[in-house]
Amino acid sequence: MRPDGAGAGAEARPAVVELRLSAFKSHRGAVFPLGPVTLVTGGAGSGKSSVLEALAVLAALACGEELPAAVARTVRGGAAACVPSGSPPDAQGRRGFRVGCVVDGPAGPVRLDLAVQTEPELRVVGERLTASGKVLLTTALRDPARRTVQAAWHTAGHVPVTRAPLPDDRLATALLPLRVAGTTDGQRMVLSAAEQVLIALRAVFPVEPRPWRMREAARVGDTLLRGCCENLSAVLDRTKGECRTRHAMLVEAARAACGGPVEGLVVTRQAVRDAAGARGDGVLAALDRGALGLTPLDRLGDSELRFLALALVLLTGPGVLEMDQAAEVLPALRAMTVVADGLDAGLDRAQTRELLSLARRAAAHGHVRLLGTAHEVDPRDVRGTGERVREAGVTVLRLGRERGGS
């Protein structure tokens, strides 16, 4: 059994088991252990969302995004907001932030640390990849006039270290598979560690359901669920026939979380129009109320729609989600990390409890992990019931107001 609580079946699946916010927003020297299901709780301004944003930055960079785009897309307030509150510039007028993570998997724990300068220019100024007590990769900004960093990675051949300039707006770890030949034991160690980190970070899926968009019919064939879940109906149209077991679990969850009787989840056909006004075939999901008829999604409340969207994400897996995973990695070796800011937002206690139970059941199989934020949770809702002995536990990380920040 791994220390984060994952079962033996999950050992071959790379997963982020620790986040390190050395200097990011309101956090300084903060280390957050991540289990199969992790909730970051605390009041407003305690820094909950910042934890998720740090992981989102690393995930975007691992997918090959350039630094400016990655930060702008994932952090509220952009690069300037990443700098720790009250942090003064150095003698050269430089300020920045430092984040990192630990990824466990077949190569053992691999640690990634990243230092980013935000002023006067946004650029990577340092990166370090370590595993098995060895520094496998380092980068450093040697000449501020050049838009490169000097990289050095472990070779352990005739030349112990290979050096080369790399772009200062990319994650060097993401570039290693294209630069390292893998002909020596040292190079193979570097590749194994880098690929493990990339697999885990590229499997991060931020989800932020938008109920007002889920009430609209979705175009038939639009079957990769986006983070806002606006195309939920089209995805349900696909998944209800692909895996009856998971669909039955989704219906069971809906029965527990939605008001009134629920016999099933179905889709109805509707015409849709694209941005240019052209008509097409669409679908709109509905709750089957049995003798009471159908209740389309456009009649459901926000809490019911948010619950259905989050439950669908936890039950489907990466093959149904719009995410950039490594195609060469077999699904059996993947562990997707669902990231949900405000997991309990708008949900009543029964809905939150059912969602956490669903997350524990999904995480027990090792394919899905959950990192979410919540204002507060009842301790009774994060424990296993004792009836499902394979349910994973919930790691609760409580933050205090003294941290400040978003």
How far CA 125 is from CA of 119, 142, 169, 218, 324, in Å, comes to 11, 9, 9, 44, 26
161 exposure class (CB count in 10 Å sphere: 0-12, 13-18, 19+):
middle
Same domain, 318 and 231: yes
Same domain, 167 and 275: no
Structure tokens at 126: 């340092």
Same domain, 7 and 49: yes
Helix (H, G, I), strand (E, B) or coil at 17: strand
Same domain, 222 and 305: yes
Query: How do beta strands 161-167 and 148-154 pair?
Result: antiparallel
Same domain, 31 and 154: yes
CA angle 370, 375, 381 (to 5 degrees): 60
pLDDT of residue 387: 33
pLDDT of residue 403: 45
| Of the residues 286, 302, 322, the one at which a domain ends | 322
Specify the residue for token string 């995004």. 65
Q: Per the domain annotation, does 211 fall within a domain?
A: no
Q: Per the domain annotation, does 389 fall within a domain?
A: yes
pLDDT of residue 317: 72
CA angle 260, 233, 207 (to 5 degrees): 95
Of the candidates 198, 195, 203, the one whose C-alpha atom is nearest the C-alpha of residue 321 is 203
Residues 140, 125: contact at Cβ < 8 Å?
yes
Helix (H, G, I), strand (E, B) or coil at 268: strand
CATH code of 67's domain: 3.40.50
Mean pLDDT by 10 residues, the chain (406 residues): 41 89 95 95 90 97 96 94 88 91 96 96 96 94 92 85 94 93 88 95 94 94 92 92 87 91 94 78 95 94 95 84 59 80 92 91 88 81 44 78 47
Same domain, 192 and 231: no
Same domain, 292 and 188: no
Same domain, 224 and 180: no
Structure tokens at 379: 């301790």
Domain residue limits at 264: 216-322
pLDDT of residue 243: 80
How far CA 239 is from CA of 10, 86, 165, in Å, comes to 24, 49, 46
| Of the residues 291, 322, 353, the one at which a domain ends | 322
Same domain, 67 and 15: yes
| Of the residues 322, 337, 363, the one at which a domain ends | 322
Written in H, E and C, the secondary structure of 27-96 is EEEEEEECCCEEEEECCCCCCHHHHHHHHHHHHHHHCCCCHHHHHHHHCCCHHHHHCCCCCCCCCCCCEE
How many domains does the structure of the chain reveal?
A: 2
Q: Per the domain annotation, does 210 fall within a domain?
A: no
Structure tokens at 334: 């993947």
Q: pLDDT tens digits, residue range 300-341?
A: 999 999 999 999 999 887 778 876 655 445 555 678 899 999
Q: pLDDT tens digits, residue range 2-14?
A: 434 444 444 578 9
Q: Per the domain annotation, does 208 fall within a domain?
A: no
Same domain, 188 and 221: no
Q: How many CB atoms lie within 10 A of CB 150?
A: 15
Same domain, 26 and 175: yes
Of the candidates 362, 345, 357, the one whose C-alpha atom is nearest the C-alpha of residue 382 is 357
